[in-house]
Structure 1
Amino acid sequence: MTVNQHLTTFHGMNVVTFPEETTEAWRPPAEPVAWRLAIEPWDGDESFPELWDRFMSTVDPSTVTAVVIGQWAEPGDDIRSAIVIERILQARDKMPALTGIFLGDMISEENEISWIEQSDVTPLLENLPALTELGIRGGDGLVLKPVRHTNLRTLIIETGGLPREVVSAVAQCDFPALRELRLWLGVHEYGGNWRPEDLEPLLAGAKFPSLRELGLQNSDKQDKVCELVADSAVVRQLTTLDLSMGVLTDKGGEHLLSLTHLTNLDLTHHYLSKEMRKQILQTLPPAGVRVILDDPQEPDHYDGEPYYYTAVAE
């Protein structure tokens, strides 16, 4: 499974793509929108810096609340997201309303998730104090340093493999206003080399007092994730827990039976047995937990051995 659809909404608004060509008669929508900026990497003549300059001279930058960044270069050109981050930061005084950024809205037809060339995203958090939502897709070259940000409410990082340095940095960040955090941890083959101790500061909860929605998703170690979360301090303050997209088996499912205080528990894309699914549904929904549970995945078999896979990898 891959990412096969661009964002249609972001930051509470519809996503509208800034057109490849703009005439004097062109006008932006009257209602607030999240602007999607992406070049045509193969057939287009416009570079991302040229696209950005045209956007800034066509749309009133003081009205821009959210930007969704798609393709910024042709895949394989070794042009990383720093080219985007630099433009955003250079324009920050002209964009006082900017509070939402999604970096890397690319689908598999454009670029596989693990090939998206990211960079150090820390400057966005260091230089945009009004930012309330940050989304990132792609883990190749992704860097984040521990930082304090008092207004960030949503942080989403989608990868086929999240480097342990980034997992550790997120866990060590100080985000007192953060309400939603989602990490696609991924698989070791594509850089998902995190260790349980990397998550400990996050699971302790002290630096995330406002956290209510936590997603630790898309991991080939989903059973261990369940064990860590179920025994953590932070889980007691959550209303929504998303453990979807990973290699979740009965071993992990057993740890979830005590989470009767939750409002929502997402377990889609799993390998739970019929018996464990029955246990979960007999225990949690009667306690008021909305459990999202689809049919189990079927493992592939190679040389007679089962192979379990996450929802998104390459």
Structure 2
Amino acid sequence: MNKQNRKPTKYDLVLGGNNPPPIDGVVLGGIEGVEKRLSSKNFEAKLAAVTEALKYGDKGIELIIDTLEDSSEEFQYAAAKILKQQESLDAKQALFDYDPYLFFTTLKDWNHVIYNPEVGISDPINNAYIVRLDSFIRESRVAQWNGGERVVRQTFYKVDTFKALLATPQAKEITALSCQINDWNDRYENREFGIFLEAICDAAQQLPNLKALFIGDGDPEDNMFRKSYLDVFDITPILEAYPNLEVLQVCGKFSDYPFECEGLKHDCLKTLIIETADLSDYNLEEICCLDLPELEYLEIWLGRRMRRNEVDSLSSILNYNSFPNLKYLGLKSGEDSDLVAQAIIDSPILKHLSVLDLSMGTLTDAGVEPLLNCPEIEQLDTLDISNNAVSEEAIGFLSEIIYNLIADNQANTPYDSYRYSTLHE
């Protein structure tokens, strides 16, 4: 977006000096003063200027969007969060036109801070507090039949840190939590997710303002390209316990325990992210049959090879039944991305999507060909096919019809060679 000439005239009163003005102070020089604050190196002053700029309509929105072009990622998401909270449709549309990924509400909209009981809660509105499942190992000696002894090590888990957070007076104001299970050890006795899940659901009355939640294996920022063996039991209790939740992100293994969530309705959820390297066909179908009328962003890591008849599990999504407000669809890390691409082409969903994400999979030129021959693909704002096995020639053809094509990190293999998805390489 091109900047207009906004230099002050000789009669304008503008701020001078290098020190940022008080965040709540009077902005001198009108929009010129706001522009000066937006160029400040002080993070808080810049955020305050974003709110002030909104008072100037289209000119203020243009200023904010221009600022995003050369700002830090932290500021981008903080400014985007302010824009998304406005009633102005122009502000939201301008943000979407600039970067659709900033438009959607995800956990990136919050600053991630490890909860320290000695420090407490300083900013329950803008911080996503990280709490981890506490673990300790207990050793015991067991007598052997031959008179000797062997040492048995058992891992026990508790949620003391989470309970300490709930005991703070500010807990009721918390809007985002990141519940991480980092140090689980026993693959054959995965109780960890269930322990944390029960604690979170029991705390629903103490967290009435919770809008965003991550629960699962590790840090959500570090899960890319990493396979998880943590068994996820179900997400239904979370959705039932938190009817006002807007963002749910879960990382783990979704194959051993069946979900029973078909038809479950949640009226507020806008973003659902399922990160896995192992998603059973049954659980995929259950997730796809959730009733989420406000869902805008759906990201599912397919995580395994799908037979042709198993693509039918995606029918509720692709036929646009359960998620009428969907704008972003991510079907990532698939072992049969070409088959998934064909299923999308054969469905009515492309007419409604703005962003299609098929990254981290096995997409080849064979899967790109039906995309190129589909007229509806041209209405996409963004197509992400990064981390696949698509040729430079096919990428060139796609770039001619897609406004924003993301196609970096392609495997150096012939288009007809088989490639494992990113999580299985």
Q: Structure 2 length as normaliser, TM-score?
A: 0.63
In structure 2, the CA distance between the partners of 1:64 and 1:143, relative to structure 1 (3 Å rule), is: farther
Q: 1:60 aligns with which of 159, 167, 170?
A: 170
Does the residue aligned with 2:423 lie in a helix, a strand or coil? Answer: coil
Matches within 5 A, 1:177-188: 177-188=294-305
Q: 1:221 to 1:133 in 2, by over 3 A?
A: same
**Alpha carbons 1:271, 1:297 under 8 Å: kept:** yes
How far the C-alpha of 1:101 sits from its partner, in A, is 1.0
Name 1:15's counterpart in structure 2. 112
Q: Does 2:391 correspond to 1:273?
A: yes
SS in 2 for 1:186: coil
Q: Which amino acid aligns with 2:158?
A: F
Q: Is the 2:182–2:217 contact (alpha carbons within 8 Å) kept by the matching residues of 1?
A: no
Decide which moves more: 87-96 or 30-39.
30-39
1:27 and 1:55 map into 2 onto residues whose CA distance is 8
Q: Given residue 190 of structure 2, which amino acid in structure 1 is its aligned partner? A: D
Q: Secondary structure at the match of 2:185?
A: coil
* Cα displacement (A) at 1:61: 1.6
Q: Residues 11 and 66 of structure 1 are in contact (CA less than 8 Å); yes or no, is this contact kept in structure 2?
A: no
Partner of 2:10: none
- 1:122 maps to 236
Whole-Å Cα distance in 1 between the matches of residues 371 and 292 of structure 2?
26
| Post-superposition offset of 1:60 | 2.3
| Native 8 Å contact 1:39 1:70 kept in 2 | yes
How big is the shift at 1:161?
Answer: 2.0
One-letter amino acid of the structure 2 residue matched with residue 116 of structure 1? L
Amino acid at match of 2:387: H
Amino acid at match of 1:12: D
Q: How far, CA to CA, are the matches of 2:196 and 2:339 in structure 1? A: 36
Q: Which residue of 2 aligns with 1:138?
A: 252
Residues 164 and 200 of structure 1, relative CA distance in 2, 3 Å threshold: same
Q: Which has the larger radius of gyration?
A: 2
1:34 aligned partner: 128
Contact 2:277 2:301 in 1 (8 A): yes
Considering only aligned residues, what root-mean-square deviation do their CA atoms show, in Å? Answer: 2.7
For residue 115 of structure 1, give the secondary structure of its aligned residue in structure 2.
Answer: coil
Q: What is the distance in 1 between the residues matched to 2:361 and 2:385?
A: 9
Pairwise CA distance, 1:210: 0.4
Q: Secondary structure at the match of 1:114?
A: coil
Instruction: Give the CA deviation at 1:10.
Output: 1.5
Where 2:356 maps in the other structure, the secondary structure is strand
* Aligned residue number for residue 82 of structure 1: 194
Q: Is it true that 1:165 corresponds to 2:282 in the alignment?
A: yes
**C-alpha deviations, 1:223-242, integer Å up to 9, x for none?**
01100112211121000000
Q: Secondary structure at the match of 1:116?
A: coil
Distance 2:333 2:285 in 1: 17
Supply the distance in 2 between the matched residues of 1:64 and 1:33 (Cα, whole angstroms): 8
Q: How many equivalent pairs are there?
A: 289
- 1:309 maps to 2:393: no
| Runs of 4+ residues over 3 Å off in structure 1 | 39-48, 140-144
For residue 55 of structure 1, what is the amino acid of its counterpart? L
Q: What is the CA-CA distance between 1:71 and the residue it aligns to?
A: 1.5
1:246 pairs with 361, 368, 384, which one?
361
Q: Which amino acid aligns with 2:337?
A: Q
Task: Name the amino acid aligned to 1:56.
Answer: L
More displaced, 154-163 or 31-40? 31-40
Q: 2: distance between equivalents of 1:209 and 1:74?
A: 38
Is the counterpart of residue 262 in structure 1 residue 262 in structure 2? no
Bigger relative contact order (CA 8 A; separation at least 6) = 1
Q: For 1:27 and 1:198, how far apart are their aligned partners in 2?
A: 45
Offset at residue 244 of structure 1 (A): 0.4
1:174 and 2:298 correspond: no
Secondary structure at 1:229 match in 2: helix
Shift of 1:54: 1.7
Kindly indicate whether the alpha-carbon contact (under 8 Å) linking 2:134 and 2:160 is maintained by their aligned counterparts in 1: no
> Which residue among 214, 219, 237 is the counterpart of 2:329?
214
1:241-262 Cα deviation digits (max 9, x unpaired) = 0010000001101122230000
Tell me which protein shows more helix as a share of its residues.
2
Please give the secondary structure, in 2, of the residue aligned with 1:225.
Answer: helix
Partner of 1:4: none
Q: Does 1:153 align with 2:250?
A: no
- The one-letter code matched in structure 2 to 1:166 is N
Shift in alpha-carbon separation, 1:48–1:32, aligned structure 2, 3 A: farther
Hey, what does 2:158 align to over in structure 1? 48
Q: Which range is displaced more, 44-53 or 244-253?
A: 44-53
Q: How far apart are residue 80 of structure 1 and its match? A: 3.5
Query: Is 1:113–1:160's contact at 8 Å kept on the other side of the alignment?
Result: yes
Deviations 1:14-71 (A, max 9, x none): 111113xx33xx2423362111111465789994322221221246220111111112
Moved more, 113-122 or 156-165: 113-122
CA distance in 1 between partners of 2:196 and 2:293 (Å): 27
